[in-house]
Amino acid sequence: MKLIRAFLLLTITFALCAGGFALWLRHELRAPFEHTRADDYIEIPHGLSSDEIVEMLHQSGVIRRGWPLRLYIKLTGAGPRLKAGEYRFPSPITPLTALRKLEEGQQRLGRFTVIEGWTRWDIASAMARLPDLKLTDANEALALMDDTSAISDIDPTARSLEGYLYPDTYSFPPNTTPRQVIATMVQRFRQVWTDGLADQARAQGKSVHEIVTVASLIETEAKLKEERPVIASVIYNRLERGIPLGVDSTVIYASKLAGKWRGDGKVYQSDLDRNSPYNTRKVKGLPPGPIASPHARSLSAALAPTPTDYLYYVREPARDDGAHNFYSNESDFQRGVQALRNWERQRDASAANGNNNQNATNDNGNQ
Protein backbone atom coordinates (compact mmCIF):
# COMPACT_ATOMS: atom_id res chain seq x y z
CA MET A 1 0.00 0.00 0.00
CA LYS A 2 2.84 2.38 0.84
CA LEU A 3 4.44 1.60 -2.52
CA ILE A 4 1.20 2.45 -4.33
CA ARG A 5 0.88 5.77 -2.45
CA ALA A 6 4.51 6.60 -3.21
CA PHE A 7 4.00 5.76 -6.88
CA LEU A 8 0.88 7.93 -7.04
CA LEU A 9 2.65 10.79 -5.31
CA LEU A 10 5.58 10.48 -7.71
CA THR A 11 3.20 10.41 -10.66
CA ILE A 12 1.34 13.49 -9.46
CA THR A 13 4.59 15.30 -8.76
CA PHE A 14 5.87 14.45 -12.23
CA ALA A 15 2.62 15.58 -13.81
CA LEU A 16 2.73 18.85 -11.89
CA CYS A 17 6.35 19.41 -12.86
CA ALA A 18 5.63 18.55 -16.50
CA GLY A 19 2.64 20.87 -16.53
CA GLY A 20 4.61 23.63 -14.88
CA PHE A 21 7.44 23.17 -17.36
CA ALA A 22 4.99 23.24 -20.27
CA LEU A 23 3.49 26.48 -18.98
CA TRP A 24 6.93 27.98 -18.50
CA LEU A 25 8.02 26.86 -21.98
CA ARG A 26 4.86 28.34 -23.51
CA HIS A 27 5.51 31.62 -21.72
CA GLU A 28 9.18 31.62 -22.75
CA LEU A 29 8.33 31.09 -26.42
CA ARG A 30 5.68 33.82 -26.42
CA ALA A 31 7.46 36.41 -24.28
CA PRO A 32 8.65 39.46 -26.29
CA PHE A 33 12.38 40.06 -25.99
CA GLU A 34 13.98 43.45 -26.66
CA HIS A 35 17.24 43.43 -28.57
CA THR A 36 19.54 45.91 -30.31
CA ARG A 37 19.73 44.32 -33.79
CA ALA A 38 16.40 45.53 -35.19
CA ASP A 39 18.09 47.67 -37.85
CA ASP A 40 20.57 44.99 -38.90
CA TYR A 41 20.25 42.21 -41.44
CA ILE A 42 21.19 38.81 -40.06
CA GLU A 43 22.23 36.38 -42.77
CA ILE A 44 21.19 32.75 -42.40
CA PRO A 45 23.40 30.82 -44.85
CA HIS A 46 22.29 27.75 -46.76
CA GLY A 47 23.09 24.37 -45.24
CA LEU A 48 22.77 25.22 -41.54
CA SER A 49 20.90 22.86 -39.24
CA SER A 50 17.98 24.17 -37.17
CA ASP A 51 20.17 24.00 -34.05
CA GLU A 52 22.84 26.12 -35.75
CA ILE A 53 20.24 28.65 -36.89
CA VAL A 54 18.80 29.03 -33.39
CA GLU A 55 22.31 29.39 -32.00
CA MET A 56 22.95 32.21 -34.50
CA LEU A 57 19.84 34.01 -33.23
CA HIS A 58 20.97 33.55 -29.65
CA GLN A 59 24.53 34.70 -30.33
CA SER A 60 23.19 37.70 -32.26
CA GLY A 61 21.10 38.68 -29.26
CA VAL A 62 17.74 38.29 -31.02
CA ILE A 63 16.46 35.69 -28.53
CA ARG A 64 17.23 35.40 -24.83
CA ARG A 65 17.75 31.61 -24.72
CA GLY A 66 18.30 29.12 -27.51
CA TRP A 67 17.35 25.78 -26.00
CA PRO A 68 13.58 26.42 -25.54
CA LEU A 69 13.23 27.22 -29.24
CA ARG A 70 15.41 24.24 -30.20
CA LEU A 71 13.20 21.98 -28.11
CA TYR A 72 10.05 23.41 -29.68
CA ILE A 73 11.44 22.88 -33.18
CA LYS A 74 12.24 19.26 -32.40
CA LEU A 75 8.81 18.63 -30.87
CA THR A 76 6.98 20.18 -33.82
CA GLY A 77 9.28 19.01 -36.61
CA ALA A 78 9.70 22.57 -37.89
CA GLY A 79 13.40 22.18 -38.68
CA PRO A 80 13.10 21.34 -42.42
CA ARG A 81 10.86 24.40 -42.96
CA LEU A 82 13.50 26.96 -41.94
CA LYS A 83 14.83 28.92 -44.89
CA ALA A 84 18.13 30.63 -45.59
CA GLY A 85 18.04 34.34 -46.28
CA GLU A 86 18.79 37.80 -44.92
CA TYR A 87 16.45 38.67 -42.07
CA ARG A 88 15.49 41.69 -40.05
CA PHE A 89 13.99 40.85 -36.67
CA PRO A 90 11.99 43.70 -35.09
CA SER A 91 12.41 44.48 -31.41
CA PRO A 92 10.80 43.30 -29.23
CA ILE A 93 10.16 39.89 -30.79
CA THR A 94 9.09 36.53 -29.42
CA PRO A 95 10.96 33.32 -30.27
CA LEU A 96 7.85 31.98 -32.02
CA THR A 97 7.59 35.11 -34.18
CA ALA A 98 11.26 34.75 -35.10
CA LEU A 99 10.56 31.12 -36.01
CA ARG A 100 7.63 32.12 -38.24
CA LYS A 101 9.86 34.58 -40.11
CA LEU A 102 12.40 31.81 -40.66
CA GLU A 103 9.67 29.54 -42.01
CA GLU A 104 8.36 32.20 -44.38
CA GLY A 105 11.80 33.13 -45.68
CA GLN A 106 13.08 36.63 -46.38
CA GLN A 107 15.46 38.26 -48.82
CA ARG A 108 17.22 41.48 -48.08
CA LEU A 109 15.48 44.24 -50.01
CA GLY A 110 17.17 47.40 -51.12
CA ARG A 111 15.07 50.55 -50.93
CA PHE A 112 15.13 53.31 -53.49
CA THR A 113 12.98 56.43 -53.44
CA VAL A 114 12.26 58.64 -56.44
CA ILE A 115 11.06 62.08 -55.33
CA GLU A 116 8.22 63.84 -57.15
CA GLY A 117 9.66 66.31 -59.62
CA TRP A 118 13.04 64.59 -59.95
CA THR A 119 14.65 64.63 -63.39
CA ARG A 120 16.35 61.62 -64.91
CA TRP A 121 19.68 63.15 -63.84
CA ASP A 122 18.49 63.18 -60.23
CA ILE A 123 17.34 59.57 -60.49
CA ALA A 124 20.56 58.42 -62.15
CA SER A 125 22.66 60.12 -59.45
CA ALA A 126 20.62 58.44 -56.71
CA MET A 127 20.99 55.06 -58.40
CA ALA A 128 24.74 55.53 -58.67
CA ARG A 129 24.89 55.96 -54.89
CA LEU A 130 23.36 52.51 -54.31
CA PRO A 131 26.22 50.02 -53.81
CA ASP A 132 23.98 47.05 -54.66
CA LEU A 133 23.50 48.31 -58.23
CA LYS A 134 27.25 48.39 -58.88
CA LEU A 135 27.06 51.34 -61.27
CA THR A 136 30.35 52.95 -62.28
CA ASP A 137 28.67 56.39 -62.40
CA ALA A 138 25.37 58.14 -63.09
CA ASN A 139 26.04 58.22 -66.84
CA GLU A 140 25.70 54.47 -66.96
CA ALA A 141 22.15 54.75 -65.61
CA LEU A 142 21.38 57.70 -67.90
CA ALA A 143 22.32 55.62 -70.93
CA LEU A 144 19.76 53.00 -69.89
CA MET A 145 17.12 55.74 -69.64
CA ASP A 146 17.61 56.56 -73.32
CA ASP A 147 16.05 53.21 -74.23
CA THR A 148 12.36 54.04 -74.80
CA SER A 149 11.24 50.59 -75.95
CA ALA A 150 9.26 50.09 -72.71
CA ILE A 151 6.96 53.02 -73.56
CA SER A 152 7.06 52.97 -77.37
CA ASP A 153 3.47 51.71 -77.51
CA ILE A 154 2.07 54.62 -75.48
CA ASP A 155 4.52 57.34 -76.46
CA PRO A 156 6.31 56.60 -79.75
CA THR A 157 7.72 60.15 -79.80
CA ALA A 158 9.56 59.88 -76.46
CA ARG A 159 13.26 60.69 -76.69
CA SER A 160 14.05 59.23 -73.27
CA LEU A 161 12.24 57.82 -70.26
CA GLU A 162 12.01 61.30 -68.70
CA GLY A 163 8.56 61.67 -67.15
CA TYR A 164 7.88 57.92 -67.18
CA LEU A 165 10.07 57.01 -64.18
CA TYR A 166 7.32 57.18 -61.60
CA PRO A 167 8.08 58.83 -58.24
CA ASP A 168 7.65 56.23 -55.49
CA THR A 169 9.61 54.10 -53.01
CA TYR A 170 10.79 50.81 -54.44
CA SER A 171 12.14 47.66 -52.80
CA PHE A 172 14.23 45.20 -54.74
CA PRO A 173 16.06 41.96 -53.89
CA PRO A 174 19.81 41.38 -54.12
CA ASN A 175 21.36 41.10 -57.58
CA THR A 176 18.72 43.35 -59.14
CA THR A 177 20.24 45.11 -62.14
CA PRO A 178 19.96 48.84 -62.88
CA ARG A 179 17.95 47.98 -65.98
CA GLN A 180 15.44 46.07 -63.83
CA VAL A 181 15.13 49.00 -61.41
CA ILE A 182 14.38 51.34 -64.30
CA ALA A 183 11.90 48.85 -65.76
CA THR A 184 10.12 48.72 -62.40
CA MET A 185 9.75 52.52 -62.34
CA VAL A 186 8.29 52.48 -65.85
CA GLN A 187 5.94 49.65 -64.94
CA ARG A 188 4.75 51.68 -61.96
CA PHE A 189 3.98 54.58 -64.27
CA ARG A 190 1.95 52.28 -66.50
CA GLN A 191 -0.03 51.15 -63.46
CA VAL A 192 -0.77 54.77 -62.55
CA TRP A 193 -1.62 55.73 -66.14
CA THR A 194 -4.89 53.85 -66.04
CA ASP A 195 -7.31 53.20 -68.89
CA GLY A 196 -9.50 55.91 -67.36
CA LEU A 197 -6.75 58.53 -67.69
CA ALA A 198 -5.94 57.35 -71.20
CA ASP A 199 -9.62 57.65 -72.15
CA GLN A 200 -9.74 61.19 -70.75
CA ALA A 201 -6.71 62.18 -72.80
CA ARG A 202 -8.15 60.71 -76.00
CA ALA A 203 -11.48 62.44 -75.38
CA GLN A 204 -9.61 65.77 -75.18
CA GLY A 205 -7.58 65.03 -78.28
CA LYS A 206 -4.35 64.97 -76.28
CA SER A 207 -1.57 62.41 -76.41
CA VAL A 208 0.11 60.71 -73.49
CA HIS A 209 3.24 62.64 -74.40
CA GLU A 210 1.44 65.98 -74.11
CA ILE A 211 -0.27 65.16 -70.81
CA VAL A 212 2.93 63.86 -69.20
CA THR A 213 4.80 66.95 -70.40
CA VAL A 214 2.19 69.31 -68.93
CA ALA A 215 2.08 67.23 -65.74
CA SER A 216 5.86 67.52 -65.38
CA LEU A 217 5.60 71.31 -65.57
CA ILE A 218 2.84 71.29 -62.94
CA GLU A 219 4.97 69.05 -60.72
CA THR A 220 7.93 71.42 -60.78
CA GLU A 221 5.79 74.53 -60.20
CA ALA A 222 3.09 73.51 -57.70
CA LYS A 223 3.90 73.01 -54.04
CA LEU A 224 0.31 72.66 -52.82
CA LYS A 225 -2.02 69.90 -53.94
CA GLU A 226 -4.95 72.26 -54.41
CA GLU A 227 -2.93 74.54 -56.69
CA ARG A 228 -2.06 71.90 -59.28
CA PRO A 229 -5.29 72.23 -61.32
CA VAL A 230 -5.02 76.04 -61.14
CA ILE A 231 -1.43 76.04 -62.43
CA ALA A 232 -2.59 73.63 -65.14
CA SER A 233 -5.15 76.25 -66.20
CA VAL A 234 -2.43 78.91 -66.44
CA ILE A 235 -0.37 76.64 -68.70
CA TYR A 236 -3.29 75.89 -71.01
CA ASN A 237 -4.46 79.53 -71.06
CA ARG A 238 -1.00 80.72 -72.11
CA LEU A 239 -0.75 77.98 -74.74
CA GLU A 240 -4.11 78.98 -76.21
CA ARG A 241 -3.07 82.65 -76.41
CA GLY A 242 0.37 81.93 -77.82
CA ILE A 243 2.16 83.37 -74.79
CA PRO A 244 5.50 81.76 -73.85
CA LEU A 245 5.05 79.67 -70.72
CA GLY A 246 8.07 81.22 -68.99
CA VAL A 247 8.53 78.24 -66.65
CA ASP A 248 11.95 78.51 -64.97
CA SER A 249 12.23 74.76 -64.47
CA THR A 250 12.32 74.36 -68.26
CA VAL A 251 15.12 76.95 -68.39
CA ILE A 252 17.05 74.88 -65.88
CA TYR A 253 16.34 71.70 -67.83
CA ALA A 254 17.69 73.32 -71.00
CA SER A 255 20.88 74.24 -69.14
CA LYS A 256 21.23 70.68 -67.84
CA LEU A 257 20.86 69.32 -71.36
CA ALA A 258 23.61 71.68 -72.49
CA GLY A 259 25.82 70.68 -69.56
CA LYS A 260 25.85 74.29 -68.36
CA TRP A 261 23.71 74.11 -65.22
CA ARG A 262 25.67 75.38 -62.22
CA GLY A 263 23.58 73.48 -59.69
CA ASP A 264 23.36 76.27 -57.14
CA GLY A 265 19.63 76.82 -57.48
CA LYS A 266 20.01 80.17 -59.26
CA VAL A 267 18.87 80.99 -62.78
CA TYR A 268 21.46 83.18 -64.52
CA GLN A 269 21.04 85.46 -67.53
CA SER A 270 23.05 82.99 -69.58
CA ASP A 271 20.41 80.37 -68.75
CA LEU A 272 17.59 82.69 -69.81
CA ASP A 273 19.36 83.52 -73.08
CA ARG A 274 20.10 79.90 -74.01
CA ASN A 275 18.74 78.82 -77.39
CA SER A 276 16.92 75.60 -76.65
CA PRO A 277 13.46 74.22 -77.45
CA TYR A 278 13.17 73.59 -73.71
CA ASN A 279 13.68 77.26 -72.82
CA THR A 280 10.05 78.39 -72.49
CA ARG A 281 11.17 81.93 -71.70
CA LYS A 282 12.10 82.26 -75.40
CA VAL A 283 10.11 79.55 -77.20
CA LYS A 284 6.33 79.41 -77.40
CA GLY A 285 4.45 76.20 -76.75
CA LEU A 286 5.30 73.14 -74.71
CA PRO A 287 8.87 71.89 -74.44
CA PRO A 288 9.67 68.85 -76.63
CA GLY A 289 8.98 66.45 -73.77
CA PRO A 290 8.62 66.00 -70.01
CA ILE A 291 11.16 67.68 -67.76
CA ALA A 292 10.58 65.68 -64.55
CA SER A 293 8.74 62.74 -62.98
CA PRO A 294 5.14 63.78 -62.27
CA HIS A 295 2.95 62.27 -59.58
CA ALA A 296 -0.57 61.00 -60.26
CA ARG A 297 -1.95 64.26 -58.82
CA SER A 298 -0.18 66.25 -61.51
CA LEU A 299 -1.31 63.85 -64.24
CA SER A 300 -4.89 64.31 -63.05
CA ALA A 301 -4.48 68.10 -62.94
CA ALA A 302 -3.16 68.10 -66.52
CA LEU A 303 -6.34 66.30 -67.56
CA ALA A 304 -8.73 68.36 -65.43
CA PRO A 305 -7.51 71.96 -65.05
CA THR A 306 -9.60 74.40 -63.04
CA PRO A 307 -11.54 76.73 -65.40
CA THR A 308 -9.91 80.16 -64.93
CA ASP A 309 -8.72 83.11 -66.96
CA TYR A 310 -5.41 83.26 -65.08
CA LEU A 311 -2.25 83.88 -67.08
CA TYR A 312 0.26 84.56 -64.31
CA TYR A 313 1.20 83.46 -60.83
CA VAL A 314 3.79 84.55 -58.31
CA ARG A 315 4.73 83.27 -54.90
CA GLU A 316 2.70 84.55 -51.95
CA PRO A 317 5.31 86.20 -49.66
CA ALA A 318 3.14 86.07 -46.54
CA ARG A 319 3.18 82.26 -46.56
CA ASP A 320 6.04 79.79 -46.37
CA ASP A 321 4.22 76.76 -47.81
CA GLY A 322 4.85 77.52 -51.47
CA ALA A 323 1.44 79.12 -52.10
CA HIS A 324 0.96 81.37 -55.12
CA ASN A 325 -1.15 84.37 -56.05
CA PHE A 326 -2.80 84.14 -59.47
CA TYR A 327 -3.52 86.97 -61.91
CA SER A 328 -5.44 87.52 -65.13
CA ASN A 329 -3.54 90.57 -66.36
CA GLU A 330 0.05 91.73 -66.42
CA SER A 331 -0.43 94.92 -64.37
CA ASP A 332 -1.78 92.96 -61.39
CA PHE A 333 0.96 90.39 -61.89
CA GLN A 334 3.67 93.07 -61.81
CA ARG A 335 2.24 94.42 -58.56
CA GLY A 336 2.45 90.90 -57.16
CA VAL A 337 6.04 90.61 -58.33
CA GLN A 338 6.87 93.94 -56.71
CA ALA A 339 5.27 92.84 -53.44
CA LEU A 340 7.40 89.69 -53.49
CA ARG A 341 10.57 91.69 -54.19
CA ASN A 342 9.79 94.12 -51.39
CA TRP A 343 9.28 91.22 -49.01
CA GLU A 344 12.56 89.65 -50.12
CA ARG A 345 14.42 92.92 -49.56
CA GLN A 346 12.93 93.25 -46.07
CA ARG A 347 13.83 89.65 -45.31
CA ASP A 348 17.41 90.14 -46.50
CA ALA A 349 17.70 93.40 -44.54
CA SER A 350 16.41 91.74 -41.39
CA ALA A 351 18.86 88.89 -41.84
CA ALA A 352 21.71 91.36 -42.33
CA ASN A 353 20.71 93.30 -39.22
CA GLY A 354 20.52 90.08 -37.29
CA ASN A 355 24.03 89.17 -38.38
CA ASN A 356 25.30 92.65 -37.48
CA ASN A 357 23.70 92.45 -34.06
CA GLN A 358 25.22 89.03 -33.55
CA ASN A 359 28.64 90.32 -34.57
CA ALA A 360 28.26 93.29 -32.18
CA THR A 361 27.36 90.92 -29.38
CA ASN A 362 30.37 88.79 -30.17
CA ASP A 363 32.63 91.87 -30.26
CA ASN A 364 31.32 93.07 -26.92
CA GLY A 365 31.85 89.65 -25.49
CA ASN A 366 35.46 89.66 -26.62
CA GLN A 367 36.32 92.99 -25.04
Q: What is the mean pLDDT of residues 29-40?
A: 90
Q: What is the mean pLDDT of residues 316-331?
A: 91
Q: What confidence category does residue 98 fall into, taking pLDDT thresholds of 50, 70 and 90?
A: very high
Q: What is the mean pLDDT of residues 359-366?
A: 38
> Rounded to an integer, what distance in angstroms lies between the CA atom of residue 219 and that of residue 162?
13
Q: What confidence category does residue 363 fall into, taking pLDDT thresholds of 50, 70 and 90?
A: very low
Phi, psi of 176, rounded to the nearest 5 degrees = -70, 135
Q: Is 171 helix (H, G, I), strand (E, B) or coil?
A: strand
Q: What is the mean pLDDT of residues 55-70?
A: 92
Instruction: Report the pLDDT value the prediction gives residue 357, as an integer from 0 to 100.
Output: 54
Instruction: Report the pLDDT value the prediction gives residue 263, as an integer from 0 to 100.
Output: 84
Instruction: Report the pLDDT value the prediction gives residue 173, as an integer from 0 to 100.
Output: 83
Q: What is the mean pLDDT of residues 73-93?
A: 90
Least confident window among 13-17, 28-32, 211-215, 328-332: 13-17
Is residue 293 a contact partner of residue 165, using CB atoms and an 8 Å limit? Answer: yes
Q: Is 169 helix (H, G, I), strand (E, B) or coil?
A: strand
Q: Is the pLDDT of residue 15 over 60?
A: no
Q: What confidence category does residue 348 fall into, taking pLDDT thresholds of 50, 70 and 90?
A: confident
Higher pLDDT, 29 or 161: 161
- Write the Ramachandran bin of 322: left for phi over 0, alpha for psi from -120 to 50, otherwise beta: left
Predicted structure pTM score? 0.73
Which residues, 6 or more positions from 194, have their beta carbon under 8 angstroms from its beta carbon? none
Q: Is the pLDDT of residue 366 over 50?
A: no
Q: Is the pLDDT of residue 9 over 70?
A: no
**Highest mean pLDDT (candidates 25-39, 211-225, 328-342):** 211-225
Q: Is the pLDDT of residue 135 over 70?
A: yes
**Domain boundary assignment for the chain:** 38-108, 110-192, 311-354
Q: What confidence category does residue 14 fall into, taking pLDDT thresholds of 50, 70 and 90?
A: low
Instruction: Report the pLDDT value the prediction gives residue 355, as an integer from 0 to 100.
Output: 59
> Rounded to an integer, what distance in angstroms lies between the CA atom of residue 322 and that of residue 183?
33
Q: Which CATH number fits domain 38-108: 3.30.70.1150, 3.30.1360.200, 3.40.50.300, 3.30.1490.480?
A: 3.30.1490.480
Q: Is the pLDDT of residue 224 over 80?
A: yes
Q: Is the pLDDT of residue 364 over 60?
A: no
Which residues, 6 or more positions from 76, have their beta carbon under 8 angstroms from its beta carbon? none
Q: Is the pLDDT of residue 304 over 80?
A: yes
Q: Is the pLDDT of residue 164 over 70?
A: yes
Integer angstrom CA distances of residue 367 from 288, 337, 355, 360: 63, 45, 19, 11
How high does pLDDT run on average in the chain?
89
Q: Is the pLDDT of residue 8 over 70?
A: no
Least confident window among 14-23, 192-201, 212-221, 235-244: 14-23
Q: What is the pLDDT of residues 279-299, one digit of tens each?
A: 999 999 999 999 999 999 999
Instruction: Report the pLDDT value the prediction gives residue 367, as an integer from 0 to 100.
Output: 26
Phi, psi of 291, rounded to the nearest 5 degrees = -120, 5
Q: What is the mean pLDDT of residues 254-271?
A: 90
Integer angstrom CA distances of residue 112 from 2, 120, 172, 188, 261: 75, 14, 8, 13, 25
